[in-house]
């Protein structure tokens, strides 16, 4: 049995980030961190706290005319020798620093300050801390609560504290995966002319991918850069057999001007003549920047919003009709890397901006 | 404990083939069949019999001026629901019928007839029955004996009873396998332009393979058809990661005008600019049809010799300077197939030809 972790929410957001990073919470192993978050939040009478599996939800009920959600996932990708955290200059290194324990720290700091009455929010607030974002969608805690109790997600704006380098990133790309199967005929490789080599038959598929020009699509003033890539290839039977099958898994990241059906149609057009099966997809989310609350948040930050180039759980709010933005101090390009780090100054700046918005802007 | 198998060498070669097929002997599991062969051969005083692991060797010492080896492997590829054997018309179906228990039956029939004094061979004879031909070369029984006791292989001609449709197939192709590795740079697939897709980078390798024209090479009057094929391809990290590595294993089957070094040089020329590592190779064997004994055997069959399109253990004799031919009643194109069969008439014809050669031709 491990000793319970105790979080000190009076620490700075940067120090709190280090506490969170040092509480290991690889997907499936979030219980200790969820316990610590729950215990810390239950200390505030102004917050009503619920626990559902490894999802922790806190709410204010201040009778404000609007409600803003602050959401973030507790889990990280697997540790890669990058724990415990360490500070070097302005950088805090460690697994989950950028994605997204710095964001969680901001959520918790806001909860503490609102809980203590030191920040008086213009909108009511809901906090979501959830598990299993880094693994298959069927395990995602936010997804589960959205299905079982969608009313808990209800809000006028959702802010997901995923890493965005402290900018507002609107909406998100959709993602679709498909498997292209090229078939052939087995034969002994010493008499290869009796067979039909499926790996050779995959040459035109790879040529299409290598020559593909990804679109840049403007939606509500933001530019979404798409991408179409092979993520897996496999084929072969034995070292002396002409292979009769070769499969290529492709991943198409598409802009929010397209539905999942549009994305599938595009794949079928690109790979016309090949056998293609969709194995996985998730919709894009529009940026929602036509909403006044979202505009107010962008204005509070003082820098223009950008497109989110990645799929995030904003799409789960978007699917419920709730405008949703990504905003977090981490750097998305460092997510999932062994040398992941976050800038301590960036955490501080993002905290200032978020609290300013919550106090007045919202 | 399984009851010992007893082989009846007085049966016809076709019946004996069925007995051998029904004694399962997948590579690594040849002991029961080796025991049965050893026991059957020890019944003849004219033969001196040796056992070394699962290799059984029998010899005559009749003082003849020349010596001929009759060699064959005891093992088969894994059973695929194709045992026990069954007869349908002229066909005997079952695992190993063509490759090469029909050939073993001819070896055993010759041993029985010579052992009983009913055939008086013009040359002294050596029989090899060996294990693990269908698996990696390091386990091959003939390979092992060739390394430890090469004098046992010594002969003026070796006949390997591998399936050839009853023709003489001279020499064999060489084989070389190489792994081509294409590297790239990982990135999240939502921001694919930050990476370099190694699977896309493999497109020109597959194009080279798909467009490759294999040579047909004449050696000592026989035509060897070459082949260059991908036998494996693999790449991919995760469904949302731009892959940083893609490997393609190619197998080049080359004519006996080339050494292994020539074959490697050819691969390096074809795939110039790519990282290529040779992982496996075996030399080709020249047909040896300039030898009088080999010419005499071809003459006894009354039909022209052909090139062996496949690698066989004739190369092990060839490496010791012993001319070696392939000759067996099976059909090489049926080898390793689920529906493997052998023609009963073909077994009988091949037996007649072999015995005629041994009695007078040799």
ipTM, two decimals: 0.79
With cut-offs at 50, 70 and 90, classify the pLDDT of residue B2.
low
Contact across the interface for A239 and B231, Cβ inside 8 Å? yes
* Surface of A (250-279) touching B: CB under 8 A: 251, 253
Q: How far is A140 from chain B (nearest CA, A)?
A: 17
Closest C-alpha to B264, from B138, B172, B179, B137: B179
Residues of B in contact with A206 (CB under 8 A): 199-200, 202-203, 206
Position of tokens 């809901």? A126
CB pairs under 8 A between A and B: 175
Report the predicted TM-score, pTM, of the whole model to 2 decimal places: 0.79
Instruction: Measure CB to CB from residue B190 to each of A173, A236, A239 and give the nearest one.
Output: A173
User: Which tokens is B41 given?
Assistant: 């051969």
CA B70 to chain centre: 14
- In this complex, which of B203, B206, B309 lies closest to A199 when CB atoms are compared? B206
Neighbours of A50 (CB within 10 A): 14
Q: For residue A52, what pLDDT is reported?
A: 97
Phi, psi (rounded to 5 degrees) for A223: -100, 120
Asked if the model's pLDDT at residue A343 lies above 90, the reply is yes
Residues of A in contact with B313 (CB under 8 A): none
Phi/psi at A57 (nearest 5 deg)? -125, 130
Would you state the pLDDT for residue B1? Answer: 42
Picking from B27, B190, B244, B248 by the largest number of A CB atoms within 10 A of its own CB, the best residue to mutate is B190
- Over residues B272-294, the mean pLDDT reads 91
Interchain CB contact of B193 with A (< 8 Å):
yes
CA distance B10 to chain A (A): 35
Where is A148: in which H helix or E strand?
Answer: helix A141-148
The string of pLDDT tens digits covering residues B129-178 is 999 999 888 899 999 999 999 999 999 999 999 999 999 999 899 999 99
Catalytic residue positions of B?
75, 133
Quickly tell me which residue has 């099976």 as its tokens.
B330
Question: How high is the mean pLDDT of chain A?
Answer: 94
The pLDDT confidence band at residue A1, using thresholds 50, 70 and 90, is very low
Single out the residue of B104, B124, B101, B103 nearest to residue B46, CA to CA: B124
> Is the bond into B84 cis (omega within 30 degrees of 0)?
yes
Mean pLDDT of A7-34: 97
- For chain A, give the percent of residues with pLDDT over 70: 99
Q: Above 60 in pLDDT, residue B361?
A: no
pLDDT reported for residue B319: 86
> Coil, helix or strand for A271?
coil
Whether the Cβ atoms of residue B187 and residue B322 lie closer than 8 Å to each other: no
Q: Which residues pair with B172 in a beta bridge?
A: B285
DSSP H or E run through A124: strand A124-130
3-state secondary structure B258-315: CCHHHHHHHHHHHCCCCEEEEEEEECCECCCCCCHHHHHHHHHHCCCCEECCCCCCHH
Both tokens of B349, joined, read 């014809």
Beta bridge partners of A229: A251
Q: Indicate the helix (H) or strand (E) that contains A56.
A: strand A55-59
Mutation site, A176, A182, A227, interface B, largest B CB count within 10 A: A227
For residue A2, the model assigns a pLDDT of 55
Residue A328: the pLDDT is 97
- Report the SS3 class of residue A294: helix
Coil/strand/helix, residue B108: helix
> Which is higher by pLDDT, A321 or B55?
B55
CB pair distance less than 8 Å for A229 and B177: no
Residue A311 has pLDDT above 90, yes or no: no
* C-alpha neighbours within 13 Å on the C-beta side of residue A245: 7
Q: What is the mean pLDDT of residues A138-145?
A: 94
Number of C-alpha atoms within 13 angstroms, CB side, residue B312? 30
Q: b or e along B272-300 (b: 16 or more beta carbons within 10 Å of the residue's beta carbon)?
A: eebebeeeebbbbbbbbbebebbeebbeb
What confidence tens digit (pLDDT) does each residue in B198-243 have? 999 999 999 999 999 999 999 988 999 999 999 999 999 989 889 9
Check CB contact under 8 Å for B230 and A238: no
- SS3 state of residue A104: helix
Q: Is the pLDDT of residue B109 over 50?
A: yes
For chain B, say whether A227 makes contact (Cβ under 8 Å).
yes
B199 has a chain A CB within 8 A of its CB = yes
Q: Within the 165-184 window of chain A, which residues sit less than 8 Å (CB to CB) from chain B?
A: 173, 175, 177
pLDDT (average), residues B285-301: 87
Q: Do A251 and B239 touch (CB under 8 A)?
A: yes
* Cα four-point dihedral sign B318, B320, B323, B328: negative
Q: Determine which of A33-42, A253-262, B295-304 has the lowest per-residue pLDDT on average.
A: B295-304
Q: Tokens 């209800």 sit at which residue?
A: A154
Domains of chain A in start order, with CATH, are 13-172+285-360 (3.40.630.10), 174-282 (3.30.70.360)
In which band, very low, low, confident or very high, does the pLDDT at B43 lie, cut at 50, 70 and 90? very high
């Amino acid at each position: 049995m491990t000793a319970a972790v105790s979080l000190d929410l009076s620490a700075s957001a940067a120090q709190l980030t280090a506490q969170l990073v040092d509480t290991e919470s690889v997907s499936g192993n979030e219980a200790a961190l969820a316990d610590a978050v729950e215990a810390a939040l239950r200390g505030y009478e102004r917050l009503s706290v619920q626990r559902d599996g490894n999802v922790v939800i806190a709410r204010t009920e201040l009778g404000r005319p609007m409600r803003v959600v602050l959401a973030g996932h507790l889990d990280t990708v697997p540790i890669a020798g990058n724990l415990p955290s360490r500070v070097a200059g302005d950088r805090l290194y460690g697994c989950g620093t950028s994605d997204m324990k710095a964001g969680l720290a901001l959520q918790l700091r806001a909860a503490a300050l609102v809980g203590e009455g030191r920040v008086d929010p213009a909108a009511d607030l809901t906090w979501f801390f959830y598990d299993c974002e880094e693994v298959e969608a069927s395990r995602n805690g936010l997804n589960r609560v959205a299905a079982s109790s969608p009313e808990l997600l209800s809000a006028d704006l959702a802010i997901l504290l995923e890493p965005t380098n402290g900018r507002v990133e609107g909406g998100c790309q959709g993602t679709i995966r498909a498997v292209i199967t090229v078939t052939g005929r087995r034969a002994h490789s010493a008499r290869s002319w009796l067979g039909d080599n499926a790996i050779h038959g995959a040459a035109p598929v790879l040529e299409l991918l290598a020559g593909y020009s990804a679109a840049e699509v403007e939606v509500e003033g933001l530019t979404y850069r798409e991408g179409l890539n092979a993520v897996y290839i496999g084929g072969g039977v034995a070292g002396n057999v002409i292979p009769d099958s070769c499969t290529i898994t492709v991943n198409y990241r598409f802009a929010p001007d397209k539905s999942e059906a549009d994305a599938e149609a595009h794949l079928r057009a690109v790979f016309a003549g090949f056998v293609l099966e969709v194995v996985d997809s998730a919709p894009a989310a529009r940026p929602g920047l036509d909403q006044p609350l979202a505009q107010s948040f962008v204005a509070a930050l003082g820098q223009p919003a950008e497109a989110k180039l990645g799929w995030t759980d904003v799409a789960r709010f978007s699917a419920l009709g709730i405008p949703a933005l990504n905003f977090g101090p981490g750097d998305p390009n460092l997510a999932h890397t062994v040398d992941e780090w976050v800038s301590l100054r960036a955490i501080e700046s993002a905290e200032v901006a978020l609290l300013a918005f919550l106090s007045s802007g919202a």
